[in-house]
Amino acid sequence: MTAHKYQALANTIISKIAAGHLRFGEKLPSIRALMLSHDVSKNTVIKALAELEKYDYIEARIRLGYFVKFKHIENNTPVTLNAEIQPVEVTIPQIFYDIMQRSAAFDISPSCNEQYQSKYLLQLQKDISKATKVSPFIKASYYDSPIGLLSLRKQICTRYRNRDFLMDESEVCITSGCQHSLFLSLFSVCKPGDTVAVESPGFYGIIQLLEQLQLNIIEIPVASTTGLDLDALEQAASKWDIAAVVVTPSFSTPTGALMPIKNRQRIVTIANTHDFAVIEDDIYGELGFDSNLPPVKTFDSEQRVILCSSFSKSLSRDLRIGWVNGGRWHEKIIRLKLTSQLASGQLQQLAVAEFMANGHFKRHLHSFKSSLLLHRNQLLSALLQYGPSAIKYSLPQGGLALWVEFSQEINTTKLYSTALKKNIVLTPGQLFSSAGHFSNSMRISFNHPYTGQRLNALKQIINPDNCQGL
């Protein structure tokens, strides 16, 4: 359990509201009942209720108890694609590149000065300063080995042990971030003209990569709770020759879906049967509010799962440190890393290894996830309070973002341009598909607090009246 107990309890109640188990106007169980059913102290229940009240999920009625406020959150149903599932070439309009660049910040209001500020980030900066003093002449004169610093690779393996995945440091190659890992993987597995299956809606960085590497795309629907639709993947693999699937099993962007363990096992079975590579994007793997599932790579029996991740979403985007475990393609990936940029910097690697060895990363994650849960609840609360009645959204149990679906007449790509004039950056749904799906959806991040200026920005983009006014 990473979040504070009261936050976890509040989260559970929100989930019940979202799933319709607790409905608008319904009375909540008594404090005593909640204490017993959740095995927590009275103080925890009271703090949880205060939290829920603060964000307008519930209201206290004197002498009567607590009641669910507003309507319940409609859980987003699995997305169904109207178009036939088939491989196509990828061509991304230039305007989308501009949007992607801005959207990488996961912030609708980049000019807002309210930021998540962690004392552990200050500790990390201290560790970097300290690392500058370690052999500066040697660092300046010699390149690091292309696979990266041993001490850091060891720390990364330790993190995975906590998720029941055992790997050896020799199986890890340090990269310049998760996008770099994905690039190295796709380049090593596929050749131009190959077909790659991706999540739909799914991470636009993958779609860009497929375009750059001249690969065909096949979009597989995603359920906003359990992720990639494996029946659809199996059907596609039976019909078409697929070289690889790229999947984000934990808190996939944009939906925040979490693939259950049995699906993680099944995707490996499908890949074994149909002989394709599974490229696993694990970048949000440690960002579960309650627990972190083992990666798909854990169930890899034929060295065909490539695990890609980084510290960009869990610690700092500026480190530019990611990693890859390339399975049977590992040597090829290392060679490509060597050829395309020789080595990574040792300074940040040294600092992060030290930061992790001293337990700061663990403490940072605890604190960071607590903030993410808070921000998610602020966001959900604002969606409830200020969003139109036809709005639907996903309810992620971790990660950095959720997926919002408006009624059909709203076009979020058009909205993007008008919002930008007000310095508001929204991430339109069409970015998450190469086929132009999801024009009435958008991704909204909860990486930052929804208060002040950012809350005002949010109100503007989720209210259809404001939308039209923009």
List residues binding a copy of itself (CB under 8 A).
97, 100-101, 104-105, 107, 110, 115-118, 121-122, 124-126, 128-129, 132-133, 136-146, 176-177, 179-180, 183, 192, 205, 208-209, 211-212, 312, 315-320, 335-336, 338-348, 447-448
Min dist. Cβ of residue 42 to a copy of itself (A): 36
Q: Cβ 309 to a copy of itself, closest distance in Å?
A: 14
Whichever of 129 and 170 has its CB closer to a copy of itself, that residue is 129
Cβ distance to a copy of itself smaller for residue 31 or 347: 347
For a copy of itself, the closer of residues 210 and 383 by Cβ is 210
Q: Minimum distance from CB of 33 to a copy of itself (Å)?
A: 41
Q: Which helix (H) or strand (E) holds 50?
A: helix 42-54
At its nearest, how many Å lie between a copy of itself and the CB of residue 461?
19
Q: How many CA atoms does the CB half-sphere of 401 hold within 13 Å? A: 25
DSSP 389: T
For residue 89, what are its two tokens?
């070439």
Q: How far is the CB of 93 from a copy of itself (least distance, A)?
A: 12
Q: Residue 82: how many CB atoms within 10 A of its CB?
A: 6
In which element (H, E) is residue 334 found? Answer: helix 330-341
User: Residue 224 or residue 348: which is nearer to a copy of itself going by CB?
Assistant: 348
C-beta closer to a copy of itself: residue 82 or 94? 94
Nearest in space to 403 (alpha carbons), one of 276, 256, 298 = 256
Largest CA distance in the chain: 74
What angle in degrees, to the nearest 10, is found between the helix axes of 5-19 and 42-54? 50
CA 93 to chain centre: 24
| Nearer CB in complex with a copy of itself: 5/126 | 126
Cβ proximity to a copy of itself, 250 vs 312, nearer residue: 312
CB of residue 283 vs a copy of itself: minimum separation in angstroms? 12
Which one, of 65, 60, 2, 6, lies nearest residue 32 by Cα? 65
Please list, residue by residue across 269-308, b when 16 or more beta carbons sit within 10 angstroms of its beta carbon and e when fewer do: ebbeebebbbbbbbbbbbbbbeebbbbbbbbbeeebbbbb
User: Tokens 């750059």, residue?
Assistant: 212
Closest CA to 248 of 270, 274, 218, 220: 220
Name which of 9 and 351 has its Cβ closer to a copy of itself.
Answer: 351
Smallest separation (angstroms) from a copy of itself to the CB of 132 = 4
Residue 24 vs 142, nearer CB to a copy of itself: 142
Q: Which two tokens stand for residue 216?
A: 């065909």
CB 43 within 8 A of CB 5: no
**Among 263, 312, 379, which Cα is nearest to 14's?**
379
Compare residues 105 and 357 and give the one whose CB is closer to a copy of itself: 105
Cβ 246 to a copy of itself shortest distance, Å: 14
Q: Quote the least distance from Cβ 332 to a copy of itself, whole Å.
A: 10
CA distances from 113 to 7, 109, 120, 451 (A): 25, 9, 19, 11
Which positions ≥6 away from 42 have C-beta within 8 Å?
Answer: 31, 35
**Min dist. Cβ of residue 251 to a copy of itself (A):** 18
Cα(116)–Cα(105) distance, rounded to whole angstroms? 13
**Please, which residue, 168 or 318, has the CB nearer to a copy of itself?**
318
Smallest separation, CB 318 to a copy of itself (Å) = 4
